[in-house]
Amino acid sequence: MAEIHTIEGALRADGLRFGLLAARFNDFIVERLISGAVDTLIRHGAVHKNLTLVRVPGAFEMPLAAKKIAGRPDIDGLICLGAVIRGATPHFDFVAAEVSKGLAQVALDSLTPVGFGILTTDTLEQAIERAGSKAGNKGVEAAQAVLESIRVLEQI
Ligand code: INI
């Protein structure tokens, strides 16, 4: 097939300013997601002074704070980090649905990349697996996705 013009994002974080939005709920899982995201950004060229961490009580509170952060002119991308665990709550479905819908809407309204680093799992064990053990680290994935998205959107 003939070569087609392709736009792709490089994983370069130099000069970019990031917000990290983290839930306090399930704090010991979320701390690992924060570490994964920060480490990823720094290894790709971001500097600590350009990273701002905002904490909210739980995942349900994220969309509103995300909207304010993503609307700031001094933020290039926002990485949201949390853990919603079914075993821990009967209102899992409501919290998981609201945070996912809400954050997707924030990205569309603000035109700012928003990373969905929110674990939604049935059990605590599954959450641990996705927070830096055998199934990777969702914070790393979310940071990489935001970085790539910023660099793609710059070119479109
Ligand atoms: N918030 C979470 O981030 N994760 C959860 O697993 C969770 N559970 O299990 O309930 C949770 N609930 C709190 C919710 O996000 C709000 O903070 C709370 O309802 C107050 O508005």
**What pLDDT sits at residue 88?**
63
Q: In this structure, which residue's CA is closest to atom 19 in ligand 1? A: 60
The span from the CA of 153 to the CA of 49, in Å, is: 23
Domain ranges of the chain: 29-155
- pLDDT, tens digit, for every residue of 86-109? 986 678 889 999 999 999 999 999
Q: Is the CB of 127 under 6 A from ligand 1?
A: no
Residue 89 Cα: closest atom of ligand 1: 9
Count CB atoms within 10 A of the CB of residue 110.
Answer: 18
Ramachandran angles phi, psi of 113, nearest 5°: -60, 130
Q: Is the CB of 84 under 6 A from ligand 1?
A: yes
72 vs 1, more confident: 72
73 Cβ contact partners less than 8 Å away, ≥ 6 residues apart? none
pLDDT given at position 89 = 67
Could you tell me the fold of the domain covering 29-155?
Rossmann fold (3.40.50)
**Which protein residue has the closest C-alpha to ligand 1 atom 7?**
84
End-to-end CA, the chain: 23
